Amino acid sequence: MKDLYRYEKLTWHEVNEAVEAAKVAVIPVGTIEDHGPHLPLDTDDVIATAVVLETAKLIPEDLVVLPTVPFGYSPHHIDFPGPITIPTPRLSHDWDVFVRYMHNVACSLAHHGFKKILMVNAHGSNRPCLDLAGRLTILDYPDVQCGYISWWELETVQETFDRVLDSALTDHACEIETSVYLAVQPEMVYMDRAEADISYDFSPHIWSNMRGTKPGPEFRNPIHMNDFWSMDTKNGVWGDPTKATARKGRAILEAAAKELAEVVLELKNRHVRKRVPHQAGRSVDSTP
């Protein structure tokens, strides 16, 4: 039986049917980059794909799933072998290439008639790029709602972290990402090579934790800043992957799919209001 939620497997007639059914177009977005000595380069891609496909199984009639975007914004990881980043540090003057790429993907969907577009992110440094891509899409297509969410930020996922994790600090190639990869493709994980690294220089306003909790009572709201990755970790890990298990990964995936399904349905049913320019003598047609 054909999965009618796999966008790339549809015929053009079926694309029209998906638009007429007001399905949400969901785009998993990851990147190819180092994830310690134990995880493959495609960790973010695998996780983004797994989260979205698990969601699709829950609400197959309400969405179409685009092929995962494999390359993202990751120039700060370039000191470790493997990352494919858009752009590279040598082309930093073209910083907006990935923004424009995702904007084009979303606008293509809008052109075909999709009114609701959701990018599901699995890589931290994609966040500002996807935010801008969504905003630009709405500027070009005001009758379209386009946004993004990072899977680990879902509240149900954060609650699951608190319930199943043994690590206080998580961020990259850690207990979280390793557990989810173990749940999806365990044969690709070298657990005998997994080793913790929490050598990052934490301070009250300079810290990060994928788990969403503060490292201690002395910590405050963190500033948003990315050093080159080799300045923050010795082996490409930020956390303790040795505590990872497939059982934890399955619990995290189930939580992510459950809440993401709620997000998709909420977006699908959200009303699109008309623009109302308030300048004297202006109409929507005359407003840039």
Q: Concatenated DSSP letters for 10-62?
A: --HHHHHHHHHTT-EEEEEE--B--BTTTB-TTHHHHHHHHHHHHHHHH-TTS
Predicted local confidence at residue 75, as pLDDT: 94
Taking each helix axis as running N to C, give the angle between helix 127-140 and helix 97-112, from 0 to 180 degrees, rounded to the nearest 10: 40
Are 83 and 33 in contact by the 8 Å Cβ rule? The answer is yes
Phi, psi of 2 (to 5 degrees): -75, 135
3-class DSSP assignment, residue 1: coil
Between CA 89 and CA 229 the distance in angstroms is 13
Residue 197 to residue 174: CA distance in whole angstroms: 9
**What span, in angstroms and rounded, lies between the C-alpha atoms of 64 and 254?**
19
What's the CA gap between 48 and 121, in Å, rounded? 7
Q: Which CATH superfamily includes the segment(s) 7-272?
A: Creatininase (3.40.50.10310)
Q: What is the model's pLDDT at position 95?
A: 87
Structure tokens at 90: 């040598």
Tens digit of pLDDT at every position of the chain (288 positions): 678 899 999 999 999 999 999 999 999 999 999 999 999 999 999 999 999 999 999 999 999 999 999 999 999 999 999 999 999 888 877 889 999 999 999 999 999 999 999 999 999 999 999 999 999 999 999 999 999 999 999 999 999 999 999 999 999 999 999 999 999 999 999 999 999 999 999 999 999 999 989 999 999 999 999 899 999 999 999 999 999 999 999 999 999 999 999 999 999 999 999 999 999 988 777 656
251: Cα within 13 Å, side-chain hemisphere: 16
What per-residue confidence (pLDDT) applies to 94? Answer: 87
Q: Which two tokens stand for residue 281?
A: 């003598």
Find out whether 204 and 217 touch, Cβ atoms under 8 Å: no
Closest CA to 7 of 86, 69, 71, 58: 69
pLDDT score at 283: 78
CA distance 252 to 177: 10
Return d(Cα 122, Cα 130) in angstroms, integer: 11
pLDDT computed for residue 4 by the predictor: 84
Confidence (pLDDT) at 286:
63
What is the SS3 assignment for 157? helix
pLDDT of residue 30: 98
**pLDDT at 80 (0 to 100):** 96
Which residue type does 104 have? Answer: N
The confidence score (pLDDT) of residue 259 equals: 98
Residue 253 in tokens:
């995936």
In sequence order, which residues have a C-beta less than 8 Å from that of residue 186 and are 6 or more positions away?
A: 246
Ordered by start, the domain boundaries in the chain are 7-272
